[in-house]
Structure 1
């Protein structure tokens, strides 16, 4: 079974660097997870008055208010079938400040939109579609679309004043034998909400379909953008 990213990129998937291909090729049939460990050289952004709102977002694993340099980082990816039988990829990101902070998501492929849909946070409260492209160095670039509030019966687009656009770039450096990542989340009016950049290595292991309890969202809502 092709992964949700293979389906979104189509023939373009073959142009990814082999290590990027492998990382984004996980599917539920394989029962293989990946674990990345590394360091964020810098985590920045968010004006002082934004910090209380970012802290509130941290309760739902949507954002975090801490900033710094050389912050230990880990990321776990699990491909699995959700309660509707749809192929998903869990992104469990952990930033190890004095207290561990999360920035989690569940991604699903939309047959209707032919895009990956990104459900954000532990309760899937926010949702966006992703445009995915191959970079000239064989890396992968993901850019979010309009941000929606996700409810059981409907989704509602957020006004641009409260919305954000995220750009994530990930590539592999052969000389360093490490992955690189850069993420920038911007609001049209207030600038950078947060961003980070760093490097990491990845290991793969069998999990035999036994997902850790934190992988699935606390509230798996109906996926209204599909």
Structure 2
């Protein structure tokens, strides 16, 4: 049992079999995939300084585009605290620059949620809630968010939070995984949206 299957319990079996395979993630085994984002959209120009800062941390980035090749790597290890931790590395190959969107996830079993630390030197944290749709897709939504300042975590006010919604599925006709991610703020509107398809590969 790994963090996602343990968290979802019986609901894990309701996921499409390909998603069960994708999120099983045994210790020290890697899931690697390649695909294309049909669209990547960022938000207001007012956020440009934030995007530029976040890009240095391999978190968000200022570029938008269509038909952007990307790769995704997931691997579960045991971290320094002795917890099972899944590393996420998403790489987007824009025509003029390569960007990454990295994260590390562990599970809070008491609160039944995923703890998501964003970027290589995480300054941002989000609670993530995992659920399974009637179609067997994985749905992820965000909860409380914080700024990480050393050992302190400061809550981000609701009005400033980026509300995350992720839908990941599997298209049997095309034999591909599908992904749609939206990060939205009630004041500034869209922060990031991307949608695409990908296939597992070996490397």
TM-score interval (norm. to shorter): over 0.9
Unmatched 5+ residue regions in structure 1? 206-226
Q: Residue in 2 aligned with 1:219?
A: none
TM-score (norm 1): 0.86
Instruction: Decide which moves more: 144-153 or 118-127.
Output: 144-153
Contact 1:146 / 1:165 at 8 angstroms: preserved in 2?
no
Deviation beyond 3 Å, 4+ runs, structure 1: none
Contact 2:90 / 2:100 at 8 angstroms: preserved in 1?
yes
In the alignment, the residues of structure 1 paired with residue 202 and residue 79 of structure 2 have an alpha-carbon distance, to the nearest angstrom, of: 21
Instruction: Decide which moves more: 13-22 or 145-154.
Output: 145-154
Q: Superposed, which structure 2 residues align to 1:116-195 within 5 Å?
A: 116-195=114-193
* Cα-to-partner distance string for 1:132-171 (whole Å, 9 max, x where unaligned): 1112221101111121012343311012343211111100
Q: Residue in 2 aligned with 1:14?
A: 13
* Cα-to-partner distance string for 1:83-132 (whole Å, 9 max, x where unaligned): 11110000000110121101110000113312111111111211111111
Q: Secondary structure in 2 aligned to 1:83?
A: coil
Contact 1:178 / 1:200 at 8 angstroms: preserved in 2?
yes
Greater share of residues in helix: 2
Contact 2:42 / 2:63 at 8 angstroms: preserved in 1?
no
Q: Secondary structure in 2 aligned to 1:103?
A: strand
Unmatched 5+ residue regions in structure 2? none
Q: Residue in 1 aligned with 2:87?
A: 90
Contact 1:32 / 1:204 at 8 angstroms: preserved in 2?
no
Greater share of residues in strand: 2
Across the aligned residues of Structure 1 and Structure 2, the Cα RMSD in angstroms comes to 1.3
Contact 1:16 / 1:138 at 8 angstroms: preserved in 2?
yes
In the alignment, the residues of structure 1 paired with residue 166 and residue 46 of structure 2 have an alpha-carbon distance, to the nearest angstrom, of: 25
Contact 1:27 / 1:87 at 8 angstroms: preserved in 2?
no
In the alignment, the residues of structure 2 paired with residue 180 and residue 33 of structure 1 have an alpha-carbon distance, to the nearest angstrom, of: 19
Q: Residue in 2 aligned with 1:53?
A: 50
Q: Superposed, which structure 2 residues align to 1:107-122 within 5 Å?
A: 107-122=105-120
Contact 1:173 / 1:179 at 8 angstroms: preserved in 2?
yes
